[in-house]
Amino acid sequence: MPVSLLMRELWGDEPPASWLTTLQTYILNLRKVLATTTGLRTEEVAARLLQTKAGGYVLDLGTGSLDLHRYQVAVASAREFLLAGDDLQAVRTLDAALRLWRGPAFLDVRGGRVLESKRRQVEESRLVAIEHMVGAQLRLGMYHEVLTELAALTVENPLHEGLHAQYMIALHSLDRRAEALEVFRTLRDNLVEDLGIEPGARVREVHQAILGADGGRGHDALLAKVVDFRWSTAADTARVY
């Protein structure tokens, strides 16, 4: 992490005259905390864990020591399962990855613009992982299993078209067609009221497929096609605001 970036993160555009000395004191105190936690001497922490490099610092806690790293590795594995068409293993892997979450990212950390950007990135990654796990569950016919989570997620993310489309598919697949159509109406109202736009192509296709279906659990060709999206295409079809 460059010293200049740490400066902006801690003090914004108006650092104090003594910012470098203060930053070095912060680093020393952090090394002492790490020493107490790990049982190492402060000098060992400086040499192995929180190292001084040219123009900045490197925190090296080792592979797998952070839950964020374990989450990212699991998501990468799930992506390979999805691309290979192994939905069951993808669901298991994504479920394990998402269980590492115990609340919002960096919940107890006060940060600046850099950390806030990272927080948003990680939170968005979680939403994408959830969407792909639900997509795999839908392809496996696990309609009941996804309903409760989708009901909550669509309330928490009222403008997320992908999650609403999946909720509509799950409801329709359980003969709850009227509720599926109501989900679309709610989404459309939210988009029009908040952003002045109509729903995107993907969720409109789901809506039209439900309107044209005969009822029952069978999906027509269009609905089946919409359900069968993979990791490589979801980023192009989902809109999140």
- pLDDT (tens, 9 = 90+) of the chain, 241 residues, equals 899 999 999 998 899 999 999 999 999 999 999 999 999 999 999 999 999 998 899 998 877 678 888 999 999 999 999 999 999 999 999 999 999 988 887 777 787 888 888 889 999 999 999 999 999 999 999 999 999 999 999 999 999 999 999 999 999 999 999 999 999 999 999 999 999 999 999 899 999 989 887 654 445 554 565 555 555 444 433 444 4
Q: What is the 3-state secondary structure (H, E, C) of the chain?
A: CEHHHHHHHHHCCCCCCCHHHHHHHHHHHHHHHHHHHHCCCHHHHHHHCEEEECCEEEECCCCCCCHHHHHHHHHHHHHHHHHCCCHHHHHHHHHHHHCCCCCCCCCCCCCCHHHHHHHHHHHHHHHHHHHHHHHHHHHCCCHHHHHHHHHHHHHHCCCCHHHHHHHHHHHHHCCCHHHHHHHHHHHHHHHHHHHCCCCCHHHHHHHHHHHHCCCCCCCCHHHHHHHCCCHHHHHHHCCCC
User: What pTM was estimated for this model as a whole?
Assistant: 0.79
Q: What is the pLDDT of residue 96?
A: 96
Q: What is the pLDDT of residue 214?
A: 62
Tokens of residue 221, six digits = 């060709």
- Whether 55 and 3 have beta carbons less than 8 Å apart is answered as yes
Q: What is the pLDDT of residue 230?
A: 56
Q: Which domains does the chain have, with CATH numbers?
A: 3-59 (no CATH), 141-237 (1.25.40.10)
Amino acid (1-letter code) at residue 43: E
- First and final CA of the chain: distance in angstroms? 30
Tokens 């997620």 -> residue: 153
